[in-house]
């Protein structure tokens, strides 16, 4: 039934970096569609507070405060989730970092921190949770993995964020490679490439939204509903046949960049 295309009732989701920004937007959207949502973040206090706030109104949001920026951390998060659930319907690899520095001064730590969290963690966390994703997946109702990339991985930003741009471009291609393998297990892998959304990472959009909007073809920054809608589409029945694709949600910016 088309009326059920976007429902997430009866499904469980795990969202990394879910305590704020885009991760929180997606978590709120999933909960509104009936999913039981686990959010992960490094800072326990913030993670617990967000989970409590998102659980108001009858929804279910559970905090799993784990630093998943290393392979060991990814396995620890998978173990923490497995202690509570026997399967995983939706994994959203959202946790990320950025580093801005001029080319001649760009440091190794600005490379390793960003590439490890943005590119390595999505792969190894998905690997660690593969058994639980397979347990939820069927041909009729596949499990989902959604990688949160960026339009900076699609087109070139003028800012000198070398490791960020490279990691997000890599994540888009990794999404394609993972998708081809995991669809064999009825796990659909896709990605979202957000443009300007208000967050602690995108402080320009957060603090100077009206100015940023002038340079966006849609003449506004992204809203919580814009991000939630894209993620719900990919996570639900509506997105079951979208395999390996990256959904660009940027108000037209990547096209304007040329």
Domain ranges of the chain: 2-253
Contact between 64 and 43 (Cβ < 8 Å)? no
d(CA 256, CA 196): 14
Residue with tokens 């002038």: 214
Phi, psi of 131 (to 5 degrees): -60, -40
Q: Nearest to residue 222, comparing CAs of 257, 258, 253?
A: 253
Handedness of CA 225, 230, 235, 237 (dihedral sign): positive
d(CA 142, CA 136): 7
DSSP 79: H
Q: Write the class of the CATH domain 2-253.
A: alpha beta
Instruction: Name the token pair of 36.
Output: 């039981």
d(CA 90, CA 14): 6
Contact between 242 and 176 (Cβ < 8 Å)? no
d(CA 59, CA 31): 6
DSSP 130: H
Active-site residue list: 164
Q: At what angle do helices 121-128 and 71-82 cross, to 10 degrees?
A: 30
Q: Which residues contact 181 (CB under 8 A, 6 or more apart)?
A: none
Contact between 99 and 157 (Cβ < 8 Å)? no
pLDDT at 206: 61
pLDDT at 1: 61
DSSP 103: G
The pLDDT profile of the chain, 258 residues, written as one tens digit per residue, is: 678 999 999 999 999 999 999 999 999 999 999 999 999 999 999 999 999 999 998 899 999 999 999 999 999 999 999 999 999 999 999 999 999 999 999 999 999 999 999 999 999 999 999 999 999 999 999 999 999 999 999 999 999 999 999 999 999 999 999 999 999 999 999 999 999 998 766 666 666 668 888 889 999 999 999 999 999 999 999 999 999 999 999 999 999 886
pLDDT at 117: 96
Look at the pTM and tell me if it is higher than 0.85: yes
Instruction: Name the token pair of 45.
Output: 């206090």
Instruction: Name the token pair of 89.
Output: 């319907």
Helix (H/G/I), strand (E/B), else coil: 216: coil
Q: At what angle do helices 224-235 and 21-32 cross, to 10 degrees?
A: 60
């Amino acid at each position: 039934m088309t009326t059920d295309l976007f429902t997430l009732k009866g499904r469980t989701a795990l969202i990394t970096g879910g305590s704020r920004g885009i991760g929180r937007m997606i978590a709120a959207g999933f909960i509104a569609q009936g999913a039981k949502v686990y959010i992960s973040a490094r800072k326990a206090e913030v993670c617990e507070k967000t989970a409590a706030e998102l659980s108001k109104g009858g929804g279910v949001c559970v905090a799993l405060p784990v630093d998943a920026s290393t392979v060991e951390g990814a396995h620890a998060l998978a173990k923490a989730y497995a202690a509570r659930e026997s399967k995983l319907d939706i994994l959203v690899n959202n946790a990320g970092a950025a580093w801005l520095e001029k080319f001649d001064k760009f440091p190794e730590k600005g490379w390793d921190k960003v590439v490890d969290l943005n590119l390595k963690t999505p792969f190894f966390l998905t690997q660690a949770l593969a058994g639980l994703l397979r347990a939820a997946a069927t041909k009729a109702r596949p499990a989902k993995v959604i990688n949160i990339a960026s339009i900076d991985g699609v087109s070139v930003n003028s800012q000198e964020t070398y490791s960020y741009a490279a990691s997000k471009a890599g994540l888009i291609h990794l999404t394609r490679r993972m998708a081809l393998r995991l669809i064999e297990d009825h796990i659909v892998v896709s990605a979202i490439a957000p443009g300007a959304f208000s967050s602690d990472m995108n402080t320009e959009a957060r603090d100077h939204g009206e100015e940023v909007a002038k340079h966006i073809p849609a003449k506004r920054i992204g809203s919580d509903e814009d991000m939630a809608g894209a993620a719900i589409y990919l996570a639900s029945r509506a997105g079951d046949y979208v395999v390996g694709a990256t959904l660009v949600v940027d108000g037209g910016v990547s096209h304007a960049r040329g």
